[in-house]
Amino acid sequence: MTASTDHLRPLLEKLSLEQKAALVQGADFWTTVPLPEIGLRALTLSDGPAGVRGPRWDEREPSLNLPSGSALAASWDVDLAYRYGAAAASEARRKGVDVVLGPTINLHRSPLGGRHFECLSEDPELTAELGAAYVRGMQENGVAATPKHYVANDSETDRFTVDVEVDERTLREVYLAPFERAVEAGAWSVMSAYNSVDGVTMTENDLLENPLNSEWGFDGVVVSDWTAVRSLDAVAAAQDLAMPGPAPAWADLVDAVHDGRVDEADIDRKVLRILLLAERVGALEGADAVAPAPLDGPAFAKEAAVEGTVLLQNSGVLPLDLAGLTKVAIIGHNAKDARTQGGGSATVLPEKVVSPLDAIRAALPAAEVSYEIGAVVQEGVAEIPLASIENPVTGGPGVRVSFHGADGTELFAEDRRATALVWFGGDAPIGASRTIVLETRYTPAESGEIQLGFAGANPGRIFVDGELVLDDVPVIEGTDLGAAFLNPPSITSAVTVEAGRAVDLRAEFTRESRGALDGALSVTLGIAPERTDPDELIARAAAAASAAEVAVVVVGTNSKVESEGYDRVDLDLPGRQDDLVRAVAATGTPTVVVVNAGSPVVLPWAGEVAAIVQGYFGGQEFGHAIAEVLTGAAEPGGRLPTTWPAALADVPVADVTPVDGRLVYAEGLHIGYRAWLKDDVQPAFPFGHGLGYTTWSWGTAQRHDDTVEVTLANTGEREGKQVVQVYAERADSTVDRPARWLVGFAVVHAEPGRTVTAVVPVPARRLAHWAGEWVVEPGAYTLRVGSSVADLPLSVEWVQA
């Protein structure tokens, strides 16, 4: 329901044109302009969405790192998504944040999409239900959610300029559907995307007015994606707040009103919406926001990770036989250095991450657990562990960072606890600094040659004990400064070190202007992986597997594969990981593979291993969740929110590269499993698939008004979770339709031997198609019910009058 802003008009009337023009654009990277004259404090916005970073990108102010979007969607659990939003609200308040920039509800149109990990699913219904629950969970705890990016920002290649060509019906039924549901859930804010749709950039696109405002009744604030406001044309469009600010494109807003290029009424409308948002989050005097519910962050992060872990296949080796196991081999780079989140703006800095290696070791106290890296996954430098660096000024662990002006004067200094540093907001005077210097004393744990270096977009020099060892200028590929900034290239030099002998490291970076991102900076002083012969690493892993009763191999992607600002080029696991898994499996030791990736990867050895667990980017408690699932302390709760391909060549919609600036969604409604069904190609694992540790028998399905009631029984020996999925089919459709489409789902839990009833809401609107308005074709529909799009034992007819 659209809220009235009449009561805010008196405040609006107190403001000068200059004040209003300032309020509709940010004050800086993350805040809006305060106007104490009318009792308005600054609003603080922050990424999001898998936890809340806060206005500073700073390891000294850590955040709860929740599982990524694709893992959340794998839970298929609306209640969990609600609590996930609530948890993020609690984090937001702890960090002084009013508006969280999430959830990301673009779709998994192609598994190559670089931010696939951050989005929920390939299916609009699953995305819509979970996205709406996230919004409710967050806002009922007093913090604004910002579903993003409106709309058709489903891949990253040329994301600032790409013009997505998509027909109206597809837009409505597929890409707008999750936003429509988020607005129905009451979203107080929505983020407009960088891209264009059908020729018009989204910050100026009519889609902001219709359907968002006029048809759906959105009464919140359209926040631009960062720097997405490009001209004054966005003022007449329903683009309410230009971020960050002050926005260059709106620099002469006041003059534009005076000379008639802009209508002041358009600015007033934006101001009223911003005031309403401020009132909702408690930023306006006299309005208190709801206080968030208390949160046990790590406990919730672990629960969410377990619920999002998908058991893809299992010969019976899982759960592990705790009593019988005496020797277990754990293998894989990601077992030790797990990736708990994807890269880019979604990054949060957790206080503590639990690795699968540590957690599995702890869960198997009686067994002898060996570890081998097996294959190198990391590309480029990784930060130097805190335990081995000493700040030369404080003597404590960490690094001294100083900022110098063009004349060499020190402008500012800070003591940090990490050598991978990002300034994107915060106190450091980045814009005024010419040189940034990192100083630390590093004590290596082992003797030998290390690949010392830096990652950043600026020229850098590294000195070891005063001697220059590296002086280079990175080559920035592509034009996405965001990508260069958030995932910059690495340059290294070989340096010989001695275990236990400390060396003084000094890194100097010469800052160059970055246009719209001036004032932001990212630098890492770090060490690239050692260059051990890859065959030797695999041989050592195979030997460890041979000596064990079970081998657990954790494979995964790295920060260069899944991040923001670019798409993936293939679906392969990086490095020699496929060879590694094959070599381990060939030893004959039962092999369990845990996949640590936010999006599908090709698993060509699937038929050679005993079990595969897809753990996604499981957040800071990833290790504990994996250990609990492997040992059976927890039931793997996940079901695939996206079809899992056996090979890239099979993927029906793989094209993410614009031609002449245009990306044509030629497949129309048929993305994800809809496209696989249309092409009649078998994936490795279908949409909705996931195993548990018990067995089920499906009973009956009946329709009652707007619900489908399904009975099913747990026929196994353990308590279990099942996700009851309902798909519609329409044999005699007069319009193009997917062969089958998801119309509802519900999670059930049952004790062994118990029969339960799942009540799945399926309103008639789920059968509708868009023909200039929503139309439900009269006639017969078949609703098919089961545990995945490919396993549907029950059905019920629905005759629509």
* Of 234 and 612, CB closest to ligand BGC: 234
If you search the block for the tokens 């000195």, which residue do you land on?
463
Contact (CB, 8 A) for 481 and 516: yes
The distance from CA 425 to its chain's CA centroid, rounded to whole angstroms, is: 21
Q: Is the dihedral of CA 7, 9, 13, 14 positive or negative?
A: positive
Among 40, 101, 120, 495, binds ligand BGC (CB under 6 A): 101
195 exposure class (CB count in 10 Å sphere: 0-12, 13-18, 19+): buried
Min dist. Cβ of residue 191 to ligand BGC (A): 7
Distance in Å, CB of 225 to ligand BGC, minimum: 5
Nearest-10 Cα torsion for 274, 280, 282, 288: 150
Nearer to ligand BGC, 346 or 507 (CB): 346
**Closest CB to ligand BGC: residue number:** 345
Quote the least distance from Cβ 202 to ligand BGC, whole Å: 12
Q: Closest approach of Cβ 383 to ligand BGC, in Å?
A: 21
353-357 long-range contacts (CB < 8 A, ≥24 apart) are 353/65, 353/620, 353/622, 353/623, 354/620, 354/621, 354/622, 354/623, 354/624, 355/622, 355/623, 356/330, 356/552, 356/554, 356/594, 356/596, 356/615, 356/622, 356/623, 356/626, 356/627, 357/330, 357/554, 357/623
In the region spanning residues 492 to 521, those forming contacts with ligand BGC, defined by CB under 6 A, are none
**Is residue 47 at the binding interface for ligand BGC, with CB under 6 A as the rule?**
yes
Q: How many residues bind ligand BGC, per CB under 6 A?
A: 7
Token duo for residue 222: 């359209």
The DSSP line for 247-293 is -GGGTTHHHHHHTTSS-HHHHHHHHHHHHHHHHHHT-BTT-PPPPPP
- Which SS3 state, helix, strand or coil, does residue 369 take? strand
Shortest CB 56 distance to ligand BGC, Å = 13
- Candidate list 58, 98, 123, 225, residue with the active-site label: 225
Full 3-state SS string of 133-180: HHHHHHHCCCCEECCECECCCCCCCCCCCCEEECCHHHHHHHHCHHHH
Strand bridging mode 163-165 / 196-197? parallel
Q: Which two tokens stand for residue 105?
A: 């509800």
* Minimum separation from the CB atom of position 345 to ligand BGC (A): 3
Binding mask 424-463 for ligand BGC (x = CB under 6 A): ----------------------------------------
Biggest alpha carbon distance in the chain? Answer: 83
Backbone angles phi, psi at 509, to 5 degrees: -120, 135
From the list 482, 526, 574, 686, which residue makes contact with ligand BGC (rule: CB under 6 A)? 482
x/- contact string, 127-166, with ligand BGC (CB under 6 A)? ---------------------x------------------
* DSSP codes joined into one string, 179-232: HHHHHHTT-SEEEEPSSEETTEEGGG-GGGIIIIITTT---SEEEEPTT---ST
Give which of 304, 359, 364 is closest to 554, Cα–Cα: 359
DSSP collapsed to 3 states, 431-466? CCCCEEEEEEEECCCCCEEEEEEEEECCCEEEEECC
Q: How far is CA 276 from CA 25, 254, 353, in A?
A: 16, 23, 38
Q: Assess contact for 684 and 640: CB atoms under 8 A.
A: no
591 CB-side CA count, 13 A: 27
Integer-rounded Cα Rg, in Å, for the chain is 27
Residue ranges with strand state E in 618-753: 662-664, 696-704, 707-714, 720-729, 741-750
- What are the φ/ψ torsions at residue 299 (nearest 5 degrees)? -65, -40
Taking the complex as a whole, the smallest distance from the CB of residue 422 to ligand BGC amounts, in Å, to 11
**Beta carbons within 10 angstroms of residue 316's beta carbon:** 8
- Give 50 or 758: the residue with its C-beta nearer to ligand BGC: 50
Q: How far is the CB of 292 from ligand BGC (least distance, A)?
A: 21
Q: In the complex, what is the shortest distance from the CB of residue 598 to ligand BGC, in angstroms, rounded to a whole number?
A: 15
The minimum distance between CB 88 and ligand BGC, in angstroms, equals: 14
Residue 214 Cβ vs ligand BGC, minimum distance, rounded to whole Å: 26
Query: CB-based contacts of 689: which residues, under 8 Å, 6+ apart?
Result: 310, 312, 639, 640, 644, 787, 788, 790, 791
Enter the tokens of residue 620. 């800071």
CA 207 to CA 150: how far, in whole Å? 9
Residues in 207-236 that interact with ligand BGC by CB under 6 A:
225-226
Contacting residues for 179 by C-beta, under 8 A, at least 6 apart: 105, 147, 150, 151, 190, 212
Active site residue 225: yes
Q: From the list 31, 196, 345, 433, which residue makes contact with ligand BGC (rule: CB under 6 A)? A: 345
Residue number, 122 or 225, with CB nearest to ligand BGC: 225
Q: How many CB atoms lie within 10 A of CB 586?
A: 14
Least gap, CB of 295 to ligand BGC (angstroms) = 22
CB of 195 to ligand BGC, least distance (A): 10
CA distances 285 to 10, 34, 100, 588, Å, are: 14, 12, 21, 69
Report, as residue numbers or ranges, the catalytic residues. 225
The residues of the shown chain that bind ligand BGC, judged by CB under 6 A, are: 47, 101, 148, 225-226, 345, 482
